Structure 1
């Protein structure tokens, strides 16, 4: 089954004090690359979320955005006032020493210490929030299922296009193979006319030799056989399970190589036109294959 590497999935779940949502976007990539963007309070759950993706996705770059809307307490976050008492005592002691020197008129003010971030700070503490964890896992699974549904649907459409392209190439090969005898016959006639224009009589043996040389140089029977084998292998691969994108890409490269060889051997305008059409189709195939998992 063909699976595309392009997809989108979204899921959200309501909590007692807010909402949590997961958005997934995937594009083509040589390997599996999963990137998370999520609240700091949920960072500890990233590995669990990554495992959910890896269970279903084999290749592609997957961007995941996790959003939480609600009160911090819903995430198990509590804000606490922290005072560095040791540092505070040093400040007070040194301030009193400065005042004892009559160097300053100001008296000690409480604000001088409350506004000092080195002494007084507000820190967040994250506690256990099992409901948030379960909601995160639920939305991850749902979003991932939607992502795969879209990837599979697009993969099926890609498969139909590729099957159609293979059919066009196969028809082009049949047309090319059928025209080869005509091309050789036309070359014999042209060669005979040229020889007659130069001399009165035509050496039949020499003519046959020249035609045989041309036929040997323009023989593409091996290339045609390999092309037909590649097409069959391509079609069979489309029916395989798992990651088939790289294999299809390799087969496409081999087909392109054979078509180039056919084009270099075919000394005929009609054959060149067929080769150009096949190369154009293979470019489309190559582009489509790049997006298959």
Structure 2
């Protein structure tokens, strides 16, 4: 079954008087790369959350954002105002000394200290909240299912396109198998005409030798047979379970090599046109394969 590496999933769970939402985005990647963006109260749960993704996703770059909304205290977050009294005393003492010089006539106000982040700061404390953890697991599972649903849907479209491309390649191979003997026959006729133009008679033995040499150099039967085998293997792989993207990528590279060899050995314009068309289709196959898990 073909699964795309591109997808999106979202899920939300209600907790107390708040909510927890999980958003997942995945794109192409050579391996599995999962990145989390978690609120402070849930950072110690990243490893468990990662296991949920690893159970269902095998390849791709997955970006996960978890958001908590609602009353912080009910979400396991307590905020406290912290004042550095020691630093405040130093500020006031130094201010008195500076004022004694008579250089400053302004008076200090409460705002001068309330908005000084070095003196007044808000600190967060997190506490264990089993209800939030359970809500996180539920949202993670649902978001992951949503992500995989989209990836599977995209995969079915990719599979349909690839099957169409492979069918087109098979048609190109059939055309090449028909034209190769025709090319060899035309070569014999041209060679025979040249011999007659130079001398009145044709050296049949030499003609057969030249034609045999040409036929050997332009023989692409092995390459065509291997191409047919690769096309068949591609179709079979599309129906295999699990991550098949790397295998398809390797087969596509082999098909490209065979197509290049056929093009170099063909030595005929009519064959070259078919090979160019086939290579153009292979480029499309390669692009689509890059999206498969």
What TM-score, normalized to structure 2?
0.89
* Corresponding residue of 1:66: 66
Partner of 1:160: 160
Q: Give the drift of 1:271.
A: 1.3
* SS of equivalent to 1:272: helix
Q: Aligned pair in 2 of structure 1 residues 127, 262: CA closer, same or farther (>3 Å)? A: same
Q: How many residues align?
A: 291
Superposed counterparts of 1:1-293, under 5 Å: 1-84=1-84, 111=110, 117-293=117-293
What is the rounded CA distance, in whole Å, between the counterparts of 1:124 and 1:55 in structure 2?
Answer: 33
Contact preservation (8 Å) 1:38, 1:67: yes
Q: Give structure 2 stretches of 5+ with no counterpart.
A: none
Q: Quickly say closer, same or farther: Cα 1:64–1:200, change in 2 above 3 A.
A: same
For 1:279, what is the secondary structure of its paired residue? helix
**102 and 223 in structure 1: CA distance in 2 versus 1, 3 angstrom threshold:** closer
Rounded to whole Å, the distance in 2 between the matches of 1:159 and 1:196 is: 56
Aligned equivalents of 1:116 and 1:167: distance in 2?
A: 71
RMSD: 2.5
Name the stretch that deviates more: 224-233 or 81-90.
Answer: 81-90
Give the ranges of 4+ consecutive aligned residues of structure 1 lying more than 3 Å apart after TM superposition: 83-96, 101-106, 108-121
Q: Deviations over 1:37-88 (max 9, x none)?
A: 2323322222222111111101001111222222212321122233445556
Contact 2:41 2:127 in 1 (8 A): no
| Separation of aligned partners in 2, 1:161 and 1:117 | 59
SS in 1 for 2:63: strand
- For residue 64 of structure 1, give the secondary structure of its aligned residue in structure 2: strand
Instruction: Give CA-to-partner distance per residue, 1:102-146, whole Å, 9 cap, x none.
Output: 66799x989476666444433221122222222121111101001
Whole-angstrom CA distance in 1 between matches of 2:93 and 2:268: 100
Give the direction of change, closer, same or farther, for the CA distance of 1:19–1:207 in structure 2 (3 Å limit): same
